[in-house]
Amino acid sequence: MNKRTAFFISDGTGITAEALGNSLLAQFEAIDFEKVTLPYIDNVAKAEAAIEQINAACVADGARPIIFDTIVNEEIRRILSQSDGFKIDVFSTFLSPLEGELQTRSSYSVGGSHAIGEMHKYKDRIESVNYALDNDDGGRIQQYDKADIILLGVSRSGKTPTCLYMAMQFGIRAANYPLTEEDLQQCRLPDLLEKHRHKLYGLTIEPFQLCAIRQERRPNSRYASLDQCDMEVREVEKIFRAEGIECINTTTFSIEEIATRIMANTGMKRRIN
């Protein structure tokens, strides 16, 4: 497999450069990318240090590194253009045509898309994250009335990270409830979930994947055995079918994909932008 280094460079957090860069690089599965994020490159000295790192990667790889940058400062952008990398200037690529269409100049402000511009949106995000943490693994079932969604699944099927991602990115109040072996033996929903049926959404996973994940946590335990994983997945899917609970198989999806698919499948609207 070919190896190339990719740099995400920004005078802010680097989140925008990473998001766009990763989306584009994902289309080239035959290449193994070593990814390096360089945030807060906001002065000449930092830019020159970044060039040294880029040029060193060029020598090590024997190929030009790919650079995604969202630098606002013209001088720093000019310095970075002198590196031995292949530079994709995100802002100039998109802002110039947009300025022409809108007939106005951009403010070229650093970190504008991630700033705390509207305090109520920031507060909503923090409250959603706190809700997800408080209501992890059935922690506070008395708060389920406030939930936008309640994720169900066996242990280690991806419930917690999905809830946290939905809270952070969408402002969704997401709780999760682990269906235990005792719940599975009854082959029905626990009574405490009945009145929240309209909020339930299931996560399932391939037994081999579940086994591998659990082995990292509790090696050679009954909990992590393939037989146990196979039984739990089989029984939880039986409950989902019997109770008419929509579900998603998380095996081949990233947390971002799982959360976004749930949003699309349920028709939920994000609370924050």
**What pLDDT does 261 receive?**
94
**What pLDDT does 119 receive?**
60
Per-residue pLDDT for 111 more than 60? Answer: no
Which residues does 106 contact at the CB level (< 8 Å), separation at least 6?
Answer: 95, 98, 99
Write b or e for each residue in 133-144: b if 16 or more Cβ atoms lie within 10 A of its Cβ, otherwise e. eebbebeebeeb
C-alpha to C-alpha distance for 73 and 18, rounded to whole angstroms: 19
**What pLDDT does 240 receive?**
97
**What pLDDT does 140 receive?**
74
Residues recorded for the chain? 273
Q: How confident is the model at residue 139 (pLDDT cuts 50, 70, 90)?
A: low
Could you tell me the two tokens for 111? 């970190």
Residue range 187-212: average pLDDT? 95
Nearest Cα residue to 261 out of 270, 246, 248 = 248
C-alpha to C-alpha distance for 236 and 139, rounded to whole angstroms: 20
Least confident of 30-34, 71-75, 157-161: 71-75
The per-residue pLDDT for range 79-91, each reduced to its tens digit, is 999 999 999 887 7
Q: How confident is the model at residue 201 (pLDDT cuts 50, 70, 90)?
A: very high
Strands 66-69 and 149-153: unpaired
Q: Are 196 and 175 in contact (CB under 8 A)?
A: no
Q: How confident is the model at residue 271 (pLDDT cuts 50, 70, 90)?
A: confident
pTM of the model as a whole: 0.67
Per-residue pLDDT for 179 more than 90? Answer: yes
Q: Classify residue 11 by burial, with Cβ atoms within 10 Å: 0-12, 13-18, 19+.
A: buried
The per-residue pLDDT for range 113-130, each reduced to its tens digit, is 444 455 666 677 778 888
Q: Are 200 and 193 in contact (CB under 8 A)?
A: yes
**What pLDDT does 18 receive?**
87
C-alpha distance from residue 13 to each of 67, 109, 119, 186, 191 (Å):
15, 13, 19, 49, 45
Least confident of 30-44, 113-127, 131-145, 193-207: 113-127
Task: Order across the sheet with 174-178: list the strands.
Answer: 174-178, 149-153, 200-204, 247-249
SS3 9: strand
Q: What is the DSSP string of 147-196?
A: -SEEEEESTTSSHHHHHHHHHHHH---EEEEE--HHHHHHTS--GGGGGG
